[in-house]
Structure 1
Amino acid sequence: MTTMNQPDDSLVAHNRESWDRWVEDGDRWTVPVSAAEIAAARAGEWAIYLTEEKPAPRDWFPADLRGVDVLCLASGGGQQGPILAAAGANVTVFDNSPAQLRQDELVAHREELTIRTVQGDMRDLNAFADGSFDLIFHPTSNIFVPEVRPVWRECFRVLRPGGILMMGTLNPIEYCFDRVLMDAEGIFQLKYRLPYSDATDISAAERIKLNGPNAPYEFSHTLEDQIGGQLDAGFMLTGFFEARRDDPTTGRFFPTYIATRAVKPG
């Protein structure tokens, strides 16, 4: 594992520790894929997720992943990276959480896969030279940093011309509602103005009560920053889908997630 020497801040450090604890707790996004899933990926049968329940479309990927240089961005946990490596890609996994990266290293060792792991902040990819990758797979994770536009600028820089960026994120409207009423009674009462921030819109005590003591800080971002930010960075949008969370609250009324595919011209 490579660790970047980057300027840190308390939010990044807190979220790093939160995800490390979630690995210990066995959160679903920290559980490594099985040997059977790796065997299937080697045979060409695989699916990976930008959002919760809906796999990323296979036609968003190159038809043949062999030799494709892939960056799994903020995508540790021993899931997406090992699957893509088993499908033939040259995979680098970049994540803020050392414990998440160790899950990728565990699968790589167990399955004899070659995966590079790098620990750092997704807003600063100075570990990589310009034009290092053909594809970036960025599942729902930029909600854990306070600014998203730097992520898109860095993605554009490290992709080669013609390179693909796939990302998933929560629908910002998810953050508008009074969580206590929504979770306890299924009542959707508007409470928070967007863009929402765990760091400024609720107290530390409220955040712990709502999300638990180990939860990372979350930030809603605007669609202008999530989608417009990609366009402003230079990308061309080539794909979009929505997905619903399988739960009895928000999933009944609106798509919980959005995902995009974008290409660096050239």
Structure 2
Amino acid sequence: MTRPPIDMRAAWNRTSATYQELHQIPVDSAHYGPWAPDENHLRLLGDVRGKRILEPGCGGGQCSIAFALQGATATGVDLSDEQLAFARNLAAKSGAAVDFYQGDAADLSRFAGASFDIVFSAYALAYVEDITSCLSEAARVLIPGGLLVFSLDHPFRDCFWDEENDEESLTPARSYFLRDASEWQFSTSGEWMRSFHRTIGDWTDLLREAGFQVQRILEPEPVLTPEEENSWAESYDLETARLIPQTIIFVATRGA
């Protein structure tokens, strides 16, 4: 039986409560992904006080809230109404002033050009189908020389996802060079999701074509506390994360 097309807005609306309850993502620092060192350790953005930061695909808003608490003017955009409701509630509880908007990361037309110093995204851009528009929009809203920092599931990790059995494998299960949409289920909610595989070379080409200069590519090793290990164990396999890269982080600047 063929599944109906996946409505990502509806899928995240149904997944939000389970996801946020399970992972308990903190707001003391921007995070880059499961078991990855956070921004307080990596310092990729520098001092954010007084900076205008946009977070497309902000989810529950934890990173935007962290930036606001550190003195930035933070703005978050997300497709999911439920994620945004969680984000607004969390911001109020945290005493953080953040503007949150419902919208698509590929359409930032509500924002004027050159209106942000930094665009940041954690584990969101792989869900974006029209990635060319997404990166072009990020370049448009950034000031010349502005900073783009985003993290993703490492593309190499996709090779170890066994779609037939819907689980991670310790041997390659698909080609790294197979560029397609993947449909998979969240282990916690059972909700079907869709993401897009792009190679590291694809990402660097896309960034260059959008007017960015890649400054760094990071592949951090897992950094674990007992709490972090427990909070991600339902969604990510720690044994695999210790053998192959889990997260990749791109740091790029907009051209003048």
**1:243 equivalenced with 2:220 (yes/no):** yes
Q: Distance in 2 between matches of 1:258 and 1:27?
A: 22
Gaps of at least 5 residues in structure 1 are 1-9, 38-45, 200-206
Q: Give the secondary-structure state (helix, strand or coil) at the position aligned to 2:111.
A: coil
* More displaced stretch, 74-83 vs 109-118: 109-118
1:52 to 31, 34, 49: 34
Offset at 1:95? Answer: 0.7
How many residues were matched structurally?
Answer: 235
> Structure 2 CA distance, aligned partners of 1:15 and 1:182?
19
The secondary structure found in structure 1 opposite 2:147 is strand
Aligned twin of 1:261: 251
Report the counterpart of residue 221 of structure 1 in structure 2.
198
Q: CA RMSD, aligned part only?
A: 2.7
Moved over 6 A (4+): 209-212
1-structure distance, mates of 2:210, 2:29: 28
The CA deviation string for residues 42-91 of structure 1, in whole angstroms up to 9 with x for no partner, is: xxxx432122222135532232x222111011112031111110111111
* Contact 1:164 1:262 (C-alpha < 8 Å) held by counterparts: yes
Could you say which residue in structure 2 is the equivalent of 1:194? 178
What is the CA deviation profile of residues 12-35 of structure 1, one whole-angstrom value per residue up to 9, with x for unaligned ones? xx21122222222144687464xx
In 2 relative to 1, CA 145–15 (structure 1 residues): closer, same or farther, beyond 3 Å? Answer: same
Q: Measured at CA, do residues 210 and 22 of structure 1 come closer, stay the same or move farther in structure 2, by a change above 3 Å? A: closer
Q: TM-score of the superposition, structure 1-length normalised?
A: 0.77
**Are 2:8 and 1:15 aligned?**
yes
CA distance in 2, matches of 1:223, 1:73: 20
User: Against the structure 1 CA distance between its residues 29 and 156, is the aligned structure 2 distance closer, same or farther, given a 3 Å change threshold?
Assistant: farther
Cα contact 1:75–1:94 (8 A) shared by 2: yes
Alignment-derived partner of residue 130 in structure 1: 113
Deviation at 1:209, TM superposition (A): 9.8
Partner of 1:105: 88
Residues 48 and 180 of structure 1: CA distance in aligned 2, closer, same or farther (over 3 Å): same
Q: Quick one: distance in 2 between partners of 1:211 and 1:81?
A: 25
Quick one: structure 1 residues 264 and 182, their matched pair in 2 at CA, closer, same or farther if it must change by over 3 Å?
Answer: same
The amino acid across from 2:31 in the alignment is: Y
Question: 2:191 corresponds to which letter in structure 1?
Answer: N
TM-score (norm 2): 0.80
What is the letter of the counterpart of residue 256 of structure 1? Q
Say which is worse superposed, 16-25 or 170-179, in terms of deviation: 170-179
Could you tell me how far apart the structure 2 residues matched to 1:222 and 1:29 are?
30
Aligned partners of 2:220, 2:99: CA distance in 1, in Å?
30
Output one character per residue of 1:139-191: Cα deviation in whole Å (capped at 9) or x when no partner.
Answer: 1111112232221111100001121100101222222342456948x451433
Structure in which a larger fraction of residues adopt strand: 2
State the alpha-carbon separation in 2 of the partners of residues 72 and 183 from structure 1. 30
Structure 2 stretches lacking a partner, 5+ long? 223-228, 230-236
Q: Distance in 2 between matches of 1:59 and 1:80?
A: 14
1:144 corresponds in structure 2 to 127
Contact 2:179 2:197 in 1 (8 A): yes
Structure 1 range deviating more: 89-98 or 106-115: 106-115
> For 1:216, what is the secondary structure of its paired residue?
strand
The one-letter code matched in structure 1 to 2:252 is: A
Secondary structure of the residue aligned to 1:255 is coil
- Range 255-264 or range 169-178, more displaced: 169-178
Q: Which has the higher helix share?
A: 1
SS in 2 for 1:60: coil
